[in-house]
Amino acid sequence: MVKHYHSRLLPLLACLLAVLLYGATTASAAVMSIDYGTEWFKVGLIKPGVPLDVALNRDSKRKTQSVITIRGEERFYGSDAVNLVSGTRYPQNTYYNLKNLLGRLYDDKHCQEYRHRFVNNMIKDSVRGTAVFQHNETAFFTVEELIGFQFAHAKEQAEATAQELVKDVVITIPPYFNQFERQAVLDAAELAGLKVLSLMHDETAVALNYAMNRKFTTEPLNHIFFDMGAGSTVASLVSFSNVVVKEGKRNKTVPQIEVLAVGYDRTLGGYEFDLRLQNYLGKAFEAQKKGQLKQSVFESDKAMAKLLKEASRVKQILSANQDTTSSIEGLHEELDFKTKVTRAELENLSQDLLDRIRGPIDTVLSTANKKV
């Protein structure tokens, strides 16, 4: 199943370090980093005297769900949005998985898919042609605004950790982001009152993290990194070595990192597995309650939200176990649901996704003309 071979927090810290070392900013103020993922965002912080730190959120967690719920004047983030007010209770006021919508037009296939998958009222911006959400009768939000609110929340996390105001930020982006997507990230940051020192590619941040606290020789060492997130997958081949450079009259050895090749799949991620399992559980429920239901479980936004959350939980358990029991009280029309799910069943449901895992690695190897 989906395995994670990396920690995404340290790479960001490493890239912050690089920014400071290479003088992109004055070392007098704290600088933060944001790794804004499809499902989670991670905030890093570097400040003089406290070189590397992870900004913890209010739950003392290192990552926060990329989710926002807006009720009137109030905004809820992360687990507050998921547990307290949203998720199952206010799906229409809650926005998930926004990363894929950045810089995209309403007619784009990612936007079309989003309209089907989530409870929302997406409309077309008559001037820009981009996706805008009609939140209620009077309020509209662009994707940049919704992500901007989350960046502002990330800024608060960094400030709570730094105990001072933070303005400067490094944001990581996938290697495939085009000019519009990059601009949308910059716009969201500006709305959050942040100054972007740099947009850094994910694979560069990962490589910098790996190089930290490691020693290399003049003989180049190649590594493949594989990062499957919730919404996309990136593989990279990176060469690490020491090179000798002249510094005045003396020779000095400095580490060199070179990203030799990158491969990706823009739509392969953990979330796709969740959807397969959600559908599977929904069908299992319908089969169990045949003849008893007034409305199909697939037509209930609330029940589908509960099933998606349960699917993700079950998937993670099946990563480490051969089987497990899925159970939801009062899933739909006050009926409880319980069923056994095996890892083999999940693999069977996701065979085409599993087959795509090799793709980014094959691209990397063929680009670099290498074999494993």
Residue 200: which residues within 8 A CB-CB, separation 6 or more? 15, 170, 171, 172, 173
Residue 37 touches Mg ion, criterion: CB under 5 A: yes
Question: How far apart, in whole angstroms, are the C-alpha atoms of residue 203 and residue 255?
Answer: 17
226 versus 285: smaller Cβ distance to Mg ion: 226
> Which does residue 230 touch among Mg ion, ligand ADP, none (CB within 5 to 8 A, set by kind)?
ligand ADP
Return the one option of Mg ion, ligand ADP, none that residue 263 interacts with (CB less than 5 to 8 A, by type).
Answer: none
As a whole number of angstroms, the distance between CA 283 and CA 286 comes to 5
149 binds, among Mg ion, ligand ADP, none (CB under 5 to 8 A by kind): none
User: Nearest distance from residue 232's CB to ligand ADP, in Å?
Assistant: 7
What is residue 106's three-state secondary structure?
coil
Minimum separation from the CB atom of position 242 to ligand ADP (A): 31
Query: Quick one: what does residue 259 bind among Mg ion, ligand ADP, none, with the CB cut-off 5 to 8 Å set by partner type?
Result: none
> If you write DSSP's letter for every residue of 274-339 in order, what string do you get?
HHHHHHHHHHHHHHHTTTT-SS-GGG-HHHHHHHHHHHHHHHHHHHH-SEEEEEEEEEETTEEEEE
Residue 89 CA: distances (Å) to CA of 73, 81, 92, 151, 296? 18, 10, 9, 24, 18
Site residues for Mg ion, 227-246, by CB under 5 A, read 229
3-state secondary structure labels for all residues of 200-269: EEHHHHHHHHHHCCCCCCCCCEEEEEEEECCCCEEEEEEEEEEEEEEECCEEEEEEEEEEEEEEEECCCC
CB of 334 to ligand ADP, least distance (A): 29
User: Could you tell me the smallest distance in angstroms from the CB atom of residue 108 to Mg ion?
Assistant: 21
Give the nearest distance from C-beta 228 to ligand ADP in angstroms. 7
Q: Which segment (35-43, 45-53, 176-184, 316-324) binds Mg ion by CB under 5 A?
A: 35-43
Q: Hey, what are 256's tokens?
A: 């060199």
Give the one entry of Mg ion, ligand ADP, none that residue 270 binds, where binding means its C-beta sits below a cut-off of 5 to 8 angstroms depending on kind.
Answer: ligand ADP
- Of ligand ADP, Mg ion, none, which one does residue 315 interact with (CB within 5 to 8 Å by kind)? ligand ADP
Q: Are 253 and 349 in contact (CB under 8 A)?
A: no
- For residue 314, the partner it binds in Mg ion, ligand ADP, none, with Cβ less than 5 to 8 A by kind, is none
Residue 44 contacts Mg ion per CB under 5 A:
no
Instruction: Give the C-alpha separation, 183 to 147, whole Å.
Output: 13
- Single-letter amino acid code for the residue at 241: S
Nearer to ligand ADP, 167 or 182 (CB): 182
Compute the least distance from the CB of residue 37 to Mg ion, in Å.
Answer: 4
| CA 359, chain centre distance (Å) | 20
- The interface partner of residue 93, options being ligand ADP, Mg ion, none and the CB cut-off 5 to 8 Å by kind, is none
Residue 269 binds Mg ion, judged by CB under 5 A: no
User: Tokens 């998921």 sit at which residue?
Assistant: 82
Q: Is 148 in the site for Mg ion (CB under 5 A)?
A: no
How far apart (Å, rounded) are the C-alpha atoms in residues 155 and 169?
9
Q: How far apart are CA 278 and CA 314, in angstroms?
A: 10
Considering the complex, what minimum distance in angstroms separates the CB of residue 41 from ligand ADP? 7
Q: Which is nearer to ligand ADP, 30 or 37 (CB)?
A: 37
Residue with smaller CB distance to ligand ADP, 68 or 162 = 68
> Cβ contacts of residue 319 below 8 Å, gap of 6+?
1, 2, 3
Which residues contact ligand ADP by CB under 6 A? 1-2, 4, 8, 37-40, 229-231, 269-271, 312, 315-316, 319
Residues that bind Mg ion (CB under 5 A): 37, 229
